[in-house]
Amino acid sequence: MPNKLLNPASSTILANNMTRLKITRRLGSCCLLLWLLVAACGSEETTTQPAATVTEVPKKVVKIPVFNRDSAYQYIAKQVSFGPRVMNTEAHERNLEWMVRKLEAFGAEVSRQEFVARAYTGEDLRGTNVIARYEPNATDRILLCAHWDSRHIADSEKNTGRTDVAVDGADDGASGVGVLLEIARHLGEVPPGIGVDIVMLDAEDYGESGADNPESWGLGAQYYSRNLPGGVKPRYGILLDMVGAKNARFTVEEVSEYFAPEIRQKIWRLAKRMGYGNYFVEDESRAVTDDHFFINRIAQIPTIDIINRPTATTFVDHWHTDRDNMDNIDKRTLRAVGQVVLATVYREAAGSLR
């Protein structure tokens, strides 16, 4: 993928902006000098003003709820308890009803986006994206999303058992949903001060492995992106996928960095300041055809993927195997991701996310 940031046109814009910033700063310094001179030569009233009133702007205090990793863990276990959430199955249907009830109980305005998508196998898949809105009338909005379906086959070469059985998807799917449900619970209790759309995307994982067929993945995200509900486009999006494993490494994934570099950087910077730099690492990893790819390409909402990619090209060993179960879910990872995303939302609302 060509690097857009390095093309000559972008560098000119960048250079012009930098020059403008320097001129503004210089003008600012001149004004300050002038003001100091006037103040020094001024009347009694001017000199009796306390210095603090002219130099200090009080910082806004942002109260961020504490993410409960045990709740997130329970929400993951509950999803897994229904059985693999494969399209056109009863487990999928039951999980959907439970998830919708949960989001409603957490005070969101919930709607369902139903669709039928043709899979690479020729089957027609009945899918439902679930959209949970907080502060539904706000025009400034953030999108948080994860996929709630699980893969129909355990077809990774690292799978040691049967390859024709569906995966539990504790990490691949349920972990992102579990973290978002715990975030939803907080958003219902403490209004974020900004619009938040939590979107549980369906039919992400019914794609064709090892084939040049990217459109076979992210079917729910493709439908969502072509049928954006609510009339207001979120400012940016954050996708959570495979956010539950022990010692996860959220590397800088190529699609995220191509479409949304500033957002990616500010979230990784925040994570580091919060002490989670061991999870949010600066190493680069190759592009993934995950839901964010379609949200970026089709809906043009700059969206990043927080995804566990231990090295530039690999996924975790349990990925698309029969070992993607609760044994691989680590509460410390859930807390790291959940707390960073919660802080992102509340800080963004307060204008204190740098």
- Which residue ranges make up the site for ligand 1BN (CB under 6 A)? 172, 205, 207, 217, 241, 288-290
With respect to ligand 1BN, which residue has the nearer C-beta, 145 or 345? 145
End-to-end CA distance of the chain: 28
325 half-sphere exposure, CB direction, 13 A CA radius: 8
With respect to Zn ion, which residue has the nearer C-beta, 146 or 238? 146
Residues within window 21-60 making contact with Zn ion, judged by CB under 5 A: none
> Out of Zn ion, ligand 1BN, none, which partner does residue 309 contact, by CB within 5 to 8 A per kind?
none
Which among 199, 179, 185 is positioned nearest to 332, based on CA atoms?
179
Question: Coil, helix or strand for 66?
Answer: coil
Q: Is 291 in the site for Zn ion (CB under 5 A)?
A: no
Structure tokens that stand for 187 in this block: 């958003």
Pair 230, 136: CB distance under 8 Å: yes
CB of 169 to Zn ion, least distance (A): 7
User: In degrees rounded to 5, what are phi and psi of residue 263?
Assistant: -65, -45
> Out of ligand 1BN, Zn ion, none, which partner does residue 241 contact, by CB within 5 to 8 A per kind?
ligand 1BN
The stretch near Zn ion (CB under 5 A) out of 52-60, 143-151, 193-201, 259-267 is 143-151
CB of 186 to ligand 1BN, least distance (A): 26
Pair 206, 119: CB distance under 8 Å: yes
CB of 302 to ligand 1BN, least distance (A): 19
Residue where the block lists tokens 């960048």: 14
With respect to ligand 1BN, which residue has the nearer C-beta, 147 or 264? 147
Q: What angle do CA 313, 154, 103 make, to 5 degrees?
A: 90
With respect to Zn ion, which residue has the nearer C-beta, 169 or 302? 169
Long-range Cβ pairs for the range 89-97 (8 Å, 24+): 92/149, 95/148, 96/128, 96/130, 96/148
> Out of ligand 1BN, Zn ion, none, which partner does residue 288 contact, by CB within 5 to 8 A per kind?
ligand 1BN
Question: Coil, helix or strand for 206?
Answer: coil
User: In degrees rounded to 5, what are phi and psi of residue 177?
Assistant: -65, -40
Interface with Zn ion (CB under 5 A), residue total 3
Pair 241, 306: CB distance under 8 Å: yes
d(CA 157, CA 137): 47
CB of 10 to Zn ion, least distance (A): 34
Q: Is 205 in the site for Zn ion (CB under 5 A)?
A: yes
> Out of ligand 1BN, Zn ion, none, which partner does residue 257 contact, by CB within 5 to 8 A per kind?
none
With respect to Zn ion, which residue has the nearer C-beta, 172 or 330? 172
334 CB-contact burial (10 Å; exposed 0-12 / middle 13-18 / buried 19+) = buried
> Out of Zn ion, ligand 1BN, none, which partner does residue 253 contact, by CB within 5 to 8 A per kind?
none
CB of 213 to Zn ion, least distance (A): 15
Which among 201, 242, 237, 238 is positioned nearest to 222, based on CA atoms?
201
With respect to ligand 1BN, which residue has the nearer C-beta, 194 or 288? 288
With respect to ligand 1BN, which residue has the nearer C-beta, 217 or 276? 217
d(CA 309, CA 242): 9
| Binding-site member from 135, 168, 172, 202 for Zn ion (CB under 5 A) | 172
CB of 89 to Zn ion, least distance (A): 16
CB of 241 to Zn ion, least distance (A): 8
CB of 173 to Zn ion, least distance (A): 7
The stretch near Zn ion (CB under 5 A) out of 91-99, 202-210, 216-224, 302-310 is 202-210
Please give the residue ranges that form the binding site for Zn ion (CB under 5 A). 151, 172, 205
